[in-house]
């Protein structure tokens, strides 16, 4: 039972005057992860002044539907020149570019939302800019300033505004990329860099009503101490594909990784952070270099704390899953996704889910702030004008 009236009040405020929130429009998950941005689709042939009403917004998954425009900004000698918008399309890279040969690249993930009054908003874009800067420093890359980053994202969202779904139907997923585009043969930082931003309308990452069923991976590891697991490097993601594929072939939604040293502490899921709830205590693994500091994670920690929960960032032994009331994942793509079960060494552990769960209330609160249904008293949302 939720022990704090704060979340109930938030939930009630979501329901007042918001017809599209009925029938659980904000809370649809599936046990199978939708394909990430993998399909090679062509940009729309519709003219700029047409709406995207041809889209089936009610059945929008998390696949690539390229929006009309992308943003490009070049950097050489640590100087980023003025960026520009162009039609979404292929880019040219040298076969000897740093990103192709040595994986020198980073990406971010963020969303633009359409409020009920039609206004477009971003959620905490400064945090994405800061995280990109942190990652760039780790990967020996220059990075755009916070203002340059936010301006590029705003321009991309505004140019593609017709692709932002109606309220309650999804969001415009925005993917900033920073890559070593200059040619390099020896192992060294690239001499030139390219900052790109493209976008695609998306629905929920995990579609449907079924909670996630995770598999604890104790053979493969996502990250190691001293590595780059704590930044959003492109090289962190392909290595988990084998573990994900193996888990899905066994009927699981995704993989939960353990620490690579002791193989006993929870780290994170393939592309999202993990939380466990016991009583009034919400715990999540501390970001100590091997775990990505998720912006949704950071926001949920603050929301939960404001609502009276005791939130702990610490090492969490896998055995604590046996006593947990709830488990849920957080991330830009998944938002807040409930976990129905976790299987570890042949033992399946089940957790509370459903309309009365804490994870559902946290989800509704966060999405309410992101979409303007709940007043943003924290200054997290940024209007796109």
State the pLDDT at residue 204. Answer: 77
Query: What pLDDT sits at residue 210?
Result: 77
Q: What is the pTM of this model?
A: 0.87
| The pLDDT of residue 50 | 57
Alpha-carbon distance of 119 to 267, in angstroms, equals 37
CB 272 within 8 A of CB 266: no
Torsion of CA 202, 206, 209, 215, to 10 degrees: 180
> Under 8 Å CB-to-CB from 53, ≥6 apart: which residues?
none
One digit per residue, the tens of pLDDT, for the chain of length 385 reads 444 545 555 444 444 333 333 333 333 322 332 333 333 344 444 344 556 778 888 888 889 999 999 999 999 999 999 999 999 999 999 999 999 999 999 999 999 999 999 999 999 999 999 999 999 999 999 999 999 999 999 999 999 999 999 999 999 999 999 999 999 999 999 999 999 999 999 987 766 557 999 999 999 999 999 999 999 999 999 999 999 999 999 999 999 999 999 999 999 999 999 999 999 999 999 998 999 999 999 999 999 999 999 999 999 999 999 999 999 999 999 999 999 999 999 999 999 999 999 999 999 999 999 999 999 999 999 999 8
pLDDT recorded at residue 37: 31
pLDDT the model gives residue 36: 30
What per-residue confidence (pLDDT) applies to 51? 67
Count of beta carbons in the 10 Å neighbourhood of residue 147: 10
From first CA to last CA, the distance across the chain in angstroms is 42
Q: Decide if 374 contacts 13 (C-beta within 8 A).
A: yes
Catalytic residue, from 111, 154, 169, 232: name it: 232
Q: What is the pLDDT of residue 341?
A: 98
> By three-state DSSP, how is residue 58 classified?
helix
Sign of torsion, CA 238 243 248 253? negative
Rounded Cα distance between 152 and 107, Å, is: 14
Annotation says 111 is catalytic: no
Look at residue 196 in the predicted model and tell me its pLDDT: 98
């Amino acid at each position: 039972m939720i022990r704090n009236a704060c979340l109930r009040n938030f939930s009630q405020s979501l329901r007042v005057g918001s017809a599209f929130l009925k029938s659980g429009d904000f809370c649809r998950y599936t046990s199978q992860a939708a394909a990430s941005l993998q399909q090679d689709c062509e940009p729309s042939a519709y003219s700029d002044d047409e709406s995207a009403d041809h889209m089936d917004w009610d059945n929008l998954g998390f696949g690539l539907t390229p929006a009309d425009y992308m943003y490009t900004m070049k950097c050489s000698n640590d100087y980023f020149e003025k960026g520009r918008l162009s039609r979404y399309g292929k880019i040219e890279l040298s076969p000897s570019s740093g990103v192709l040969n040595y994986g020198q690249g980073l990406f971010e993930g963020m969303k633009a939302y359409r409020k009920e009054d039609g206004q477009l908003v971003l959620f905490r874009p400064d945090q994405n800019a800061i995280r990109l800067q942190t990652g760039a420093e780790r990967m020996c890359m220059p990075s755009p300033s916070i203002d340059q980053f936010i301006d590029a994202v705003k321009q991309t969202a505004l140019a593609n505004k017709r692709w932002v779904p109606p309220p309650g139907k999804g969001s415009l997923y925005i993917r900033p990329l920073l890559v070593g585009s200059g040619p390099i043969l020896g192992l060294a930082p690239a001499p030139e860099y390219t900052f790109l931003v493209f976008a695609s309308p998306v629905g929920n990452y995990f579609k449907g009503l079924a909670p996630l069923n995770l598999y604890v991976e104790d053979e493969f590891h996502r990250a190691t101490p001293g590595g780059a697991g704590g930044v959003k490097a492109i090289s962190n993601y392909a290595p988990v594909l084998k573990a994900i594929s193996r888990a899905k072939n066994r009927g699981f939604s995704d993989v939960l990784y353990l620490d690579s040293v002791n193989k006993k502490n929870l780290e994170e899921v393939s592309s999202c952070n993990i939380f466990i709830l016991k009583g009034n205590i919400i715990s999540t693994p501390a970001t100590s270099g091997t775990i990505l500091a998720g912006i949704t994670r950071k926001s949920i920690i603050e929301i939960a704390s404001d609502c009276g929960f005791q939130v702990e960032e610490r090492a969490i032994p896998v055995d604590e899953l046996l006593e947990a009331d709830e488990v849920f994942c957080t991330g830009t793509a998944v938002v807040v996704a409930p976990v129905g079960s976790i299987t570890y060494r042949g033992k399946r552990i089940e957790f509370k889910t459903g309309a009365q769960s804490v994870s559902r209330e946290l989800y509704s609160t966060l999405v309410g702030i992101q979409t303007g249904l709940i007043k943003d008293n924290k200054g997290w949302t940024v209007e796109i004008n």
